[in-house]
């Protein structure tokens, strides 16, 4: 182990995704010598963070504050885009609303108030942010109008984000050890003072003044999924890293940490039926199917089972994976006609997409594998008859163009399915990350059952519980990881070890 700064406190960070690298960089800024442990081999490094589009939600009052993060946008970009604003109060409301009022208010306040300063800090470290035109804006009257509070992504998506943070870590002299799996915390007299690690050359204990756990949730652990999320969840496809099996959570619990958050809950989306069992770094997020608000979704009986237009995609997608998992055979078909096919997101145009097309609804019915044809035709007939045609369709706003009298109704963006050609996409449930985890305070200190900080232990990212319950506002995970990672790293560096 190199000593970047002889005599300085050593901080060990477990994980090498977004939260971990932010923690490592912050600990380094705080003057610590930092070692990052990455369980994955180098080609698979970077955790779920690398699989993402790297869209990051943050509060901004308008264009000036957006540009604090994105840098100066071109005259053309500002002339042709309506970025709107996303005030702190709205971000707080979204987190409260999405969690049914259960999100920890201290964590929410910290996440929201530190969101823009943290992204600005990342920009200073070399992460570039650019407008997220694809999937977060619709063109209305010649302008790209952003909807849903999510406006920027890191340039290059997840790979770009992780590579930028890694370059910054290299520049800062942070050591990253690959194929190095943390297995146990080393506790001395009640204080965490190191990590036991299994690496290419066997087991050893790395001593540390403080440890930051940022090793993701337990979404890639089939046993834990069945045990905590419930029967059936073992069958979900894992959207991201196969290495997030809950090690960090287990180690902290063994050291006396308390649980927090919704252990029965997770983020899960509609995911291509034929996607592999765990994430594929070539395809990354592109197995997702996020344009369902523009069409209808049917199950094996040919019946609709969710309100496709309940809200903007950002506010429903994370809970609709569970709905698909609950259907017979654990699959569904998303159906669109040519009225909206030009509005479908990029992931629908990939060659691997499980897609069928037809020139009539009847023909389509025969092509939907596993679906009752009569049931499907009845659903389309009833749906088309229930659409309120007196309201204008506008995908960039909650347009109120709904159906009337169906169970369930579609609340927005309802169009009759009557313009050939038709296309349909087969989906199943893809799990993104788990909501249950460790209890931390707003200083990212891991707490015990009595609410006391465990000396020397910090945590950030997916393995923290208390922010998300049942649902999730899109783009919050990376921001939460960055905000609390930065705080954790600073705290670990300043810790009296
Ligand atoms: C396909 C997909 C798309 C997504 N899109 C977005 C998006 O656009 N915006 C957004 O905000 N969120 C998105 N998310 C969610 C987002 O990925 C997570 O919220 C975020 O990446 C979590 O970061 P993290 O650092 O906590 O975990 P990760 O990035 O998963 O990092 C965990 C790290 O810990 C390592 N590790 C695990 N166990 C050990 C161990 N025992 N020892 C050492 N290392 C270990 C892993 O190898 C990995 O490097 C997406 C997720 C997926 C899967």
What letter would DSSP give residue 257?
A: B
Instruction: Identify whether the C-beta of residue 240 lies closer than 8 Å to the C-beta of residue 218.
Output: no
Rounded distance, CA 72 to CA 55, Å?
19
CA-based nearest residue to 102, from 442, 436, 467:
467
What letter would DSSP give residue 90?
A: H
Query: Is the pLDDT at 328 greater than 60, yes or no?
Result: yes
The domains of the chain, with CATH numbers, are 10-217+435-494 (3.50.50.60), 268-430 (3.90.700.10)
Task: Summarize the confidence of residues 50-55 as an average pLDDT.
Answer: 97
Q: What is the mean pLDDT of the chain?
A: 96
Task: Summarize the confidence of residues 333-350 as an average pLDDT.
Answer: 96
Q: What's the CA-to-centroid distance between 132 and ligand 1, angstroms?
A: 20
Q: What's the CA-to-centroid distance between 214 and ligand 1, angstroms?
A: 9
Which atom belonging to ligand 1 lies closest to the Cα atom of 267? 15
Which atom belonging to ligand 1 lies closest to the Cα atom of 53? 8
Which atom belonging to ligand 1 lies closest to the Cα atom of 247? 41
- Give me the percent of the chain exceeding a pLDDT of 90: 95
Could you read off the pLDDT of 160-213 as tens digits, one per residue? 999 999 999 999 999 999 999 999 999 999 999 999 999 999 999 999 999 999
Could you read off the pLDDT of 135-151 as tens digits, one per residue? 888 888 889 999 888 99
CA-based nearest residue to 214, from 411, 395, 483:
483
User: ∠ CA 236-182-168 to the nearest 5 degrees?
Assistant: 90
| pTM for the predicted model, two decimal places | 0.96
Q: What's the CA-to-centroid distance between 273 and ligand 1, angstroms?
A: 22
Q: In sequence order, what are the residues at sequence separation of 6 or more whose Cβ sits closer than 8 angstroms to the Cβ of residue 12?
A: 34, 35, 36, 37, 194, 195, 206, 208, 210, 211, 212
Query: Is the pLDDT at 4 greater than 60, yes or no?
Result: no
- Per-residue pLDDT at 298: 98
Task: Summarize the confidence of residues 307-312 as an average pLDDT.
Answer: 97
Rounded distance, CA 349 to CA 457, Å?
45
Q: At 26, is the pLDDT very low, low, confident or very high (cuts 50, 70, 90)? A: very high
Instruction: Identify whether the C-beta of residue 468 lies closer than 8 Å to the C-beta of residue 435.
Output: yes
Q: What's the CA-to-centroid distance between 46 and ligand 1, angstroms?
A: 7
Task: Summarize the confidence of residues 43-56 as an average pLDDT.
Answer: 98
Q: Looking up tokens 């890293």, which residue turns up? A: 241
Rounded distance, CA 275 to CA 354, Å?
9
Please indicate whether residue 221, judged by its CB atom, sits closer than 6 Å to ligand 1.
no
Task: Summarize the confidence of residues 253-268 as an average pLDDT.
Answer: 98
CA-based nearest residue to 285, from 385, 392, 433:
433
Task: Summarize the confidence of residues 380-389 as an average pLDDT.
Answer: 98
Q: At 6, is the pLDDT very low, low, confident or very high (cuts 50, 70, 90)? A: low
Could you read off the pLDDT of 264-296 as tens digits, one per residue? 999 999 999 999 999 999 999 999 999 999 999
Please indicate whether residue 285, judged by its CB atom, sits closer than 6 Å to ligand 1.
yes
Task: For 408-464, give the secondary structure using H, E and C.
Answer: CCCCCCCCCCCCCCEEEEEEEEEEEEECCEECECCCCEEEECCCCEEEEEEECCCCE
Please indicate whether residue 37, judged by its CB atom, sits closer than 6 Å to ligand 1.
yes
Query: Is the pLDDT at 156 greater than 50, yes or no?
Result: yes
Please indicate whether residue 471, judged by its CB atom, sits closer than 6 Å to ligand 1.
no
Which atom belonging to ligand 1 lies closest to the Cα atom of 181? 42
Task: Summarize the confidence of residues 473-490 as an average pLDDT.
Answer: 98
Task: Summarize the confidence of residues 376-387 as an average pLDDT.
Answer: 98
6's enclosing H/E stretch is none
- Per-residue pLDDT at 7: 63
Query: Is the pLDDT at 497 greater than 70, yes or no?
Result: no
- Per-residue pLDDT at 8: 80
- Per-residue pLDDT at 495: 58
Could you read off the pLDDT of 98-112 as tens digits, one per residue? 999 999 999 999 999
- Per-residue pLDDT at 180: 98
Query: Is the pLDDT at 303 greater than 90, yes or no?
Result: yes
Which atom belonging to ligand 1 lies closest to the Cα atom of 478? 11
Count other Cβ atoms within 10 Å, centred on residue 398: 15
């Amino acid at each position: 182990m190199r000593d970047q700064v002889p005599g300085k406190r050593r901080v060990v960070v477990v994980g090498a995704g977004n939260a971990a690298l932010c923690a490592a960089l912050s600990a380094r800024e705080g003057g610590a010598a930092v070692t990052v442990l990455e369980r994955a081999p180098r080609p698979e490094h970077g955790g779920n963070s690398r699989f993402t589009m790297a869209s990051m939600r943050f509060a901004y009052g308008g264009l000036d504050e957006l540009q604090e993060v994105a840098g100066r946008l071109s005259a053309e970009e500002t002339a042709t885009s309506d970025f709107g604003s996303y005030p702190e109060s709205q971000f707080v409301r979204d987190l409260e609303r999405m969690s049914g009022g259960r999100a920890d208010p201290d964590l929410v306040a910290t996440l929201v108030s530190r969101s823009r300063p943290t992204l600005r800090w990342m920009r200073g470290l070399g992460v570039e942010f650019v407008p997220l035109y694809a999937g977060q804006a619709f063109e209305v009257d010649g302008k790209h109008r952003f909807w849903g509070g999510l406006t920027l992504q890191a340039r290059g998506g997840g790979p770009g984000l992780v590579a930028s943070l890694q370059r910054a870590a290299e520049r800062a002299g942070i050591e990253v050890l690959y194929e190095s799996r943390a297995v146990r915390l080393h506790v001395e007299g009640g204080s965490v003072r190191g990590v036991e690690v299994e690496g290419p050359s066997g087991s050893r204990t790395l001593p540390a003044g403080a440890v930051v756990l940022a090793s993701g949730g337990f979404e890639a652990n089939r046993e834990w999924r069945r045990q905590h999320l419930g029967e059936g969840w073992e069958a979900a496809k894992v959207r991201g890293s196969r290495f997030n099996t809950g090690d960090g959570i287990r180690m902290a619990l063994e050291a006396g940490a308390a649980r927090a958050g919704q252990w029965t809950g997770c983020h899960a989306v509609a995911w291509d039926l034929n996607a592999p069992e765990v994430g594929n770094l070539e395809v990354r997020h592109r197995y997702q199917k996020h344009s369902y608000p523009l069409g209808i979704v049917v199950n094996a009986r040919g019946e609709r089972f969710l309100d496709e237009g309940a809200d903007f995609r950002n506010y429903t997608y994370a809970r609709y994976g569970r709905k698909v998992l609950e259907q017979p055979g654990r699959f569904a078909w998303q159906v669109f006609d040519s009225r909206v096919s030009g509005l479908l997101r990029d992931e629908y145009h990939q060659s691997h997409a499980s897609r069928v097309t037809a020139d009539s609804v009847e023909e389509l019915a025969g092509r939907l594998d596993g679906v009752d044809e009569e049931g499907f035709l009845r659903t389309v007939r009833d749906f088309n008859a229930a659409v309120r045609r007196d309201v204008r369709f506008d995908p960039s706003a909650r347009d109120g163009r709904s159906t009337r009298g169906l169970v369930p109704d579609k609340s927005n963006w309802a169009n009759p399915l009557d313009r050939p050609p038709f296309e349909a996409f087969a989906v199943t449930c893809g799990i993104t990350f788990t909501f249950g985890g460790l209890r931390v305070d707003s200083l990212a200190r891991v707490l015990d059952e009595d609410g006391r900080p465990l000396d020397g232990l910090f945590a950030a990212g997916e393995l923290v519980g208390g922010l998300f319950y049942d649902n999730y506002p899109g783009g919050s995970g990376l921001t939460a990881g960055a905000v609390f990672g930065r705080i954790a790293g600073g705290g670990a560096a300043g810790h009296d070890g």
